[in-house]
Structure 1
Amino acid sequence: MATAHLRAMGWMGRLIQDDRVVFGWMAVVAVAGLFGVSEMLKNWRDEAEIKPVQPKTQYITQETEDALKLSTLDTLLGHYNQSIRETSARIVCDRAVNDKDTVDMLLWGITRKDYDERMRNLRALAIITDPQSLERLHRWKAYAALVRCLELSLDPEQEVLDDEDWDEYGLRDMTEKLCLMFISQLLSCYEPEKLIKAKFVEKWLAKQNWGATPEDRLHNFSRYMRYKGNRITDIVAAIQGTCSGREALEATGLLPPLGPVPSESDPEDNIPLIERFSVLLPNNINLSNLRDDDQTRLLIRSLQGVQSAEEQRVRHRHREAMVLNDGSRPLNSDDIIQRPESPS
């Protein structure tokens, strides 16, 4: 045992005296120490980190919106957070469009002669309205204000609207385009009767430069409606589809008056039925010499009865066609509508 112990001590002494072994051991200790220190620092960093609290989703109720004062909303409109600014702007617009006095004030503003004042009020009206609140403008006062604004925006030096290859709508004044935008959106949801009552045709449409002579006005207006595709043509199409709108367009010389309804009578309708079937009857027939049960007399009586019923049917057909053509739309072949005959 003593000898083995001495040998082991001698072997260890030789290893200690070997520089390579010493440096290798020091390297292992250094790497282990660095790894341990790194893990300790990571653990300390994770424990010392302050994690932000996740914000909870909160919804603003109608009661909260109504409780906000104007001064508070004014402050929120300048907030650095974009979502807060957008929410505040939406609340302001909702309050404005639901306040009748505010809407009336803006409608009064778009009828002023000062161009800048009209533009400010038009832009404000466009900001506060949306498809859900468009019904606030579906009243005669709003249509009259829009027509008045269009009337004030008329260009006295407008060129003749006779170019079928170029649409001038994009170059029109912004006040005109904003008013036409409101009118087009309203007509997409409602009937045009209130717009016609506000004299849109007489006060603005008819005052466009359609030409110097009545013939030029008819021709240029017809070509404009045929070749252009903008809000003006959409509005006119809606107006033209009503009786009052058609009358206004005819009265201002933009559409020709409707002519008489063409007849569909067949020339053969004027020929007595008995003459059409004369080939079936003998020549020089004398009804007084025929018996009551004679086949010829019976045929003539049946033809006369059929002729009377045929004449009544033709008169009824013509009368029905005239009733259906009430002048509410442009005259064409589809206007004469006949009721299909029931089989006998």
Structure 2
Amino acid sequence: MSFQSSDKLLWLCLGVSIFFAVRGIATDLRRVRDLTEIKHVEKEDKMISEGTEDVLKLDTLLKLSESTSYDLRAAALRIISERATKGQTRDLLLDDLASEDHKRRSKALNAMWFLVSNRALSRTSVCVRLKDLPTYTAIVDCLCNFLEEHTEETCTTVSPILPKTRPLGEKKALGILNAILQEDIPAALEAGVLSRWLTKYPFPCALAEPSRRQDVVILMKSWWTDDPVMSSIFGTLSSHPDGTKQLRKHGLMGSMMEENDDDDVDSDVWMIDGEDTAGSSRYSGRRVREGTAEEQAVRRRRREAMVLSDGGHPLGNEDIIQHPLQSS
């Protein structure tokens, strides 16, 4: 009996020891896990809370915008931008943008360019407030005011799409329009981007003799490197059905038949200083249709011919397949 009692006591002590050993090991492992865990401590107190944004004065925000802290600068600029696109402040900004006063317009252009081009503001409600009809109307008014300033040469580039008399401030206005145009093309068309502005724009190809006004869209694609921003604006307008209709309506884009008729139009040819070889006109006009109807049919038949060859011998007349010439 004493032997059995000692065995039970031994097993009891062994079980208790194992229990406490397991508890101790588990506690140590949890402690190691807690010590090695990387914690992301969230700041409970914001530097500029939403409750204090509305009471901050502009002078204070200007000082914060010059802070060495990136977060403070970003927060201050965001608050200033949101205030500039709300209520009466926004109306004053658009009025200055459409103003004929050069100083007011210049300041408004700088402000608008900052608001539409700053990536930090793209995630806020600032950009949304600048994509409506009043904004497009103010921008078109601004661009129309620049039309009267095309008087002195500001560049020497010889191009069918870039006027030499473009005012210095017009490029920034074009950039603003290009940045927001694709957001609401119908609103921009309603504001008169085509009917009030582009129809009166002094494109060199439209002012030349003979005029190539209806080839403006085609020339924008061929000569886009001369004026990338204006070419982008035309590309956006021509990609929208309503934009295409108005481009054709106002004579800045030819009909589909004319665009596809390569036999009649040399849209990608523009002579520069070629009076000695190409006549007095600096712009290549449309090809003159020569020959009788039968000769034109022969030329069209040759364009539609197919050449089939396995490459084992030089090409000959037997490899050319043409539609039969129909006699009238």
Q: TM-score, normalised by structure 1?
A: 0.49
- 1:144 partnered with 2:140: no
Contact 1:214 1:253 in 2 (8 A): no
Q: How far apart, in 1, do the equivalents of 2:59 and 2:99 lie?
A: 32
Give matches, 1:248-259, under 5 Å: 248-259=246-257
Deviation track 1:221-253 (CA, whole Å, cap 9, x = no partner) reads 532332214111111111112232122212222
Deviation track 1:161-204 (CA, whole Å, cap 9, x = no partner) reads 9945x98489843432222222222134x241111111111222
Instruction: Decide which of 154, 173, 180 is 1:179's aligned counterpart.
Output: 173
Task: Please say which of residues 226-235 and 251-260 is displaced more in the overlay.
Answer: 251-260
Q: How far apart, in 1, do the equivalents of 2:197 and 2:94 lie?
A: 18
Give matches, 1:235-250, under 5 Å: 235-250=233-248
Count of equivalent residues: 204
Deviation track 1:66-104 (CA, whole Å, cap 9, x = no partner) reads 26431661573487x432872564254244245232112
Partner residue of 1:226? 222
Instruction: Decide which of 104, 111, 117 is 1:124's aligned counterpart.
Output: 111
Higher-Rg structure is 1
Q: How far apart, in 2, do the equivalents of 1:199 and 1:168 lie?
A: 21
Consecutive aligned runs of 4 or more in structure 1 exceeding 6 Å deviation: 158-162
Partner residue of 1:83? 69
Q: How far apart, in 2, do the equivalents of 1:76 and 1:131 lie?
A: 23
Give matches, 1:184-223, under 5 Å: 184-188=178-182, 190-209=183-202, 210-212=206-208, 215-219=211-215, 222-223=218-219
- The percent of aligned pairs where both chains have the same amino acid is 19
Instruction: Decide which of 88, 91, 101 is 1:101's aligned counterpart.
Output: 88
Task: Could you tell me which runs of 5 or more consecutive residues in structure 1 were left unpaired when the two chains were aligned.
Answer: 1-55, 263-344
Shift of 1:131: 2.2
- Larger helix share, 1 or 2: 1
Q: How far apart, in 2, do the equivalents of 1:196 and 1:136 lie?
A: 18
Q: How far apart, in 2, do the equivalents of 1:215 and 1:169 lie?
A: 15
Shift of 1:206: 2.1
Deviation track 1:295-339 (CA, whole Å, cap 9, x = no partner) reads xxxxxxxxxxxxxxxxxxxxxxxxxxxxxxxxxxxxxxxxxxxxx
Q: How far apart, in 1, do the equivalents of 2:191 and 2:65 lie?
A: 41
Query: Which residue identity does 2:69 align to in structure 1?
Result: S
2:169 is paired with a residue whose SS is helix
CA RMSD of aligned residues (A): 3.8
Q: How far apart, in 2, do the equivalents of 1:170 and 1:134 lie?
A: 33
Give matches, 1:308-327, under 5 Å: none
Contact 2:94 2:135 in 1 (8 A): yes
Deviation track 1:271-310 (CA, whole Å, cap 9, x = no partner) reads xxxxxxxxxxxxxxxxxxxxxxxxxxxxxxxxxxxxxxxx
Deviation track 1:14-57 (CA, whole Å, cap 9, x = no partner) reads xxxxxxxxxxxxxxxxxxxxxxxxxxxxxxxxxxxxxxxxxx99
Task: Could you tell me which runs of 5 or more consecutive residues in structure 2 were left unpaired when the two chains were aligned.
Answer: 1-42, 261-328
Change (3 A) 1:98 1:246: closer
Q: TM-score, normalised by structure 2?
A: 0.52
